[in-house]
Amino acid sequence: MATVLIVDDSPTELHLFQKMLEKHGFVTMIADSGEDGIRQAKAGAPDCILMDVVMPGINGFQATRKLTKDPATAKIPVIMVTTKDQETDKIWGMRQGAVEYLVKPVLEKDLVAKINEVMAG
């Protein structure tokens, strides 16, 4: 079973994504900040990371950049999942190392399909 780390400062979003993914057989880890997401990615080595952008402290762009530059986590695909629906944000997220960029609200089938796609390589 694949493990997905969900990084989001919203308890509602964490719960929603966790339920969606567990229903499809994924094991989930959750982090409520960019800092915690980095720690958990290093400790738990998930197969994929869902990363919110707007968070206090280290935001999703900064956390993604740190993860993709660290040899211990560089191979873990990061999907940015955010309410920021602007092309400049998408481009910036991809420049930080994200492999995909989804805009909330995300349909369950689209989220699961995208995770499976990025994990397939």
How many structural domains is the chain composed of? 1
CB 51 within 8 A of CB 79: yes
| Among 69, 66, 56, 64, CA closest to 81 | 64
- How far is Cα 81 from Cα 36, in angstroms, rounded to an integer? 17
Residue 49 belongs to domain with CATH number: 3.40.50.2300
pLDDT of residue 1: 86
User: Checking DSSP bridges between strand 27-31 and strand 100-103, what pairing results, if any?
Assistant: unpaired
For residue range 14-56, list pLDDT tens digits in order.
Answer: 999 999 999 999 999 999 999 999 999 999 999 999 999 999 8
Which pLDDT band, with edges at 50, 70 and 90, does 96 fall under? confident
Strand locations in 70-118 (E): 78-82, 100-103
Domain region containing 78: 3-120
pLDDT of residue 89: 66
